[in-house]
Amino acid sequence: MNTPVIRPVVLCGGAGTRLWPLSRTHYPKQFLRLVDDFSLLQNTLRRLDGLEGMGVAIAVANEHHRFLVAEQFLEIGLKVEIVLEPAARNTAPAVAAAAMQALREAGEKTSPLLLVLPSDHLIADVTAFRNAVADAIPHAQAGALVTFGVVPDRPETGYGYIRRGDPLAGGHVLDRFVEKPDFATAQSYLQSGDYFWNSGMFLFRADVYLDSLEHFAPDIRTCVAAAVASSRRDLDFLRLDPVAFAASPANSIDYAVMEKTDRGVVVPLDAGWNDIGAWDALATVGQPGTNNNTQRGDVHCVDTRDCVLFSEGRLLATVGVKELIVIATPDAVLVADRTKAQEVKTLVDELKRASRSETEFLHIVHRPWGSYEGVAHGPRYQVKRILVKPGASLSLQKHHHRAEHWVVVKGTAMVVRGDETLLLSENQSTYIPLGVVHRLENPGKIDLEIVEVQSGSYLGEDDIIRLEDSYGR
């Protein structure tokens, strides 16, 4: 049998609120580098290296994260097609959009296989993962809807389960899905050997999945088909029609299709899978350090054991503590009992109700042109460090409530200020009075860094009137 074309479909949604304060609304956990030098999103596709038949991946992403997704794949040299969801509708509509786009691009060719992957999971044994995908391919080619069941190593109440049926080559008939159990039931599942954790990963033909949607959830297929038919290109992104997509029912692949089909197959996955759902999960990743502590960053411990300790910049020091989670970022510090890791979500919900900005952005805010970082702020002023990538520019804009003073600390800046165009090098500066139209551009080949001092009666990010923008904002 010829090797089929496999289109990886990477689902880039999700908030990861239990990993606050590192994970934020506009920088959720899939973009974090938690275990090595690559983000969870980047590793999702890096682990596919070596599998035959891999086509261009399709990433289904939130509108607000589009430039982050593009930048992270660019960093690792991967060409990825990015489909933008105008509204969150769960996995069934997201994958339907990817399936329709894949079929549209295949033309008259054989329907491609879709390897559906969440973007925020960790898999330690990449070889075992690839072997599981290889075992699943013949079943998917033959028309089965394959899911990957994680072989459990403990009684876990936080995951849904899959019960296996009769054996098949490399897998089993999918008997049924089971909701999250209580501890005693989870123990019985583990002892029986007939149950797997539900990983949320799938392999199936694009046409088979869409036919199944037509049978079990026709409203989803109809709405998504209209959204794809009316989609439009915007730079490197495919924008689905917002009205049609928002009309789709919100549902998961499990509920919409997999729990109803008689074509389900489950392939075991024993590969060190971890969804890193909360901070305590990091203690099970890799080898713990001294006194069973998991730590990263500038961390020093005395008489400390069984802790998860992360620092983003500042020195984090502990004395005489155990079973704590301590996560320090420049703008927030979390201290929690390790057994209460799941309750971080409750804390974040309370902070959101209080309109705390620390739930939204990291101290470094990423933009399509680069990033900015808050350095200091007070009444009527704030200071930012701004980085602009080579060849990039901010929008042509003005402000109603603030003036700005820019000092170049690295690189070369081209500045539009009213009717003037200025070329500034290191240690040179300029002043942008309130209401003056301006633009900042990096014409050089290295990053441009400037220090910006803002002053005025209101300094919010919504005081930007964009007149021209290269990024369609």
Looking at residue 110, what is its pLDDT? 84
What average pLDDT score do residues 294-305 get? 94
Least confident of 108-112, 129-133, 462-466: 108-112
Parallel, antiparallel, or unpaired for β 299-302 and 316-319? Answer: parallel
Do 385 and 329 share a structural domain?
A: no
Looking at residue 302, what is its pLDDT? 96
Q: What global pTM score does this model have?
A: 0.86
What span, in angstroms and rounded, lies between the C-alpha atoms of 176 and 442?
Answer: 56
Residue 359 lies in a domain: no
Do 205 and 163 share a structural domain?
A: yes
Residue 219 lies in a domain: yes
Residue 445 lies in a domain: yes
The partner residues of 387 in beta bridges, in order of sequence, read 371, 449
What is the band of 461 on the pLDDT scale with cuts at 50, 70, 90?
Answer: confident
Do 239 and 287 share a structural domain?
A: no
**Is 80 exceeded by the pLDDT of residue 473?**
no
What average pLDDT score do residues 122-127 get? 94
CB atoms within 10 A of CB 444: 16
Domain, as residue range, for 262: 6-274
What 3-state class would DSSP assign to 319?
strand
Do 455 and 327 share a structural domain?
A: no
Could you give the strand order of the β-sheet that contains 448-456, starting from the edge strand earlier in sequence?
A: 364-367, 370-378, 381-388, 448-456, 402-410, 429-432
Residue 229 lies in a domain: yes
Do 288 and 248 share a structural domain?
A: no
Do 405 and 348 share a structural domain?
A: no
What is the band of 174 on the pLDDT scale with cuts at 50, 70, 90?
Answer: very high
- In the chain, the percentage of residues whose pLDDT exceeds 90 is 77
Looking at residue 67, what is its pLDDT? 86
Which CATH number goes with the domain that contains 428? 2.60.120.10
Looking at residue 3, what is its pLDDT? 67
Question: Across the chain, what does the average pLDDT equal?
Answer: 92
43-64 confidence digits (pLDDT tens)? 999 999 888 889 999 999 988 8
Do 263 and 249 share a structural domain?
A: yes
- 414 CB contacts (<8 Å, ≥6 apart)? 393, 421, 422, 423, 424, 440, 441, 442, 443
Do 149 and 133 share a structural domain?
A: yes
Which residue, of 220, 254, 274, is where some domain finishes? 274
Reference 70, options 316, 234, 264; nearest CA is 234
Looking at residue 435, what is its pLDDT? 93
Task: Write phi, then psi, for 153 (nearest 5 degrees).
Answer: -120, 5
Do 442 and 302 share a structural domain?
A: no
Kind and range of the H or E element at 454? strand 448-456
Task: Write phi, then psi, for 84 (nearest 5 degrees).
Answer: -100, 125
Do 406 and 345 share a structural domain?
A: no
Least confident of 62-66, 291-295, 315-319, 388-392: 62-66
Residue 1 lies in a domain: no
What 3-state class would DSSP assign to 309?
strand
36: DSSP letter: S
389-440 confidence digits (pLDDT tens)? 999 999 999 999 999 999 999 999 999 999 999 999 999 999 999 999 999 9
337-377 confidence digits (pLDDT tens)? 999 999 999 999 999 999 998 998 877 888 889 999 888 88
Which residue, of 274, 297, 328, is where some domain finishes? 274
Looking at residue 363, what is its pLDDT? 78
Q: What is the DSSP string of 344-384?
A: HHHHHHHHHHTT-GGGT--SEEEETTEEEEEEEEETTEEEE
Do 162 and 55 share a structural domain?
A: yes
Which residue, of 334, 353, 372, is where some domain finishes? 353
9-33 confidence digits (pLDDT tens)? 999 987 788 999 999 988 899 999 9
What span, in angstroms and rounded, lies between the C-alpha atoms of 404 and 422?
Answer: 15
Domain count within the chain: 3
216-252 confidence digits (pLDDT tens)? 999 999 999 999 999 999 888 999 999 999 999 999 9
Residue 473 lies in a domain: no
Looking at residue 2, what is its pLDDT? 62
Looking at residue 286, what is its pLDDT? 63
Residue 450 lies in a domain: yes
Looking at residue 366, what is its pLDDT? 83
Looking at residue 168, what is its pLDDT? 94
134-160 confidence digits (pLDDT tens)? 999 999 999 999 999 999 999 988 899
Residue 358 lies in a domain: no
Q: What is the DSSP string of 179-205?
A: PPP-HHHHHHHHHHS-EEEEEEEEEEE
Structure tokens at 78: 């991967």
Which CATH number goes with the domain that contains 138? 3.90.550.10
Task: Write phi, then psi, for 164 (nearest 5 degrees).
Answer: -80, 150
First-to-last C-alpha distance (Å) of the chain: 47
Do 53 and 160 share a structural domain?
A: yes
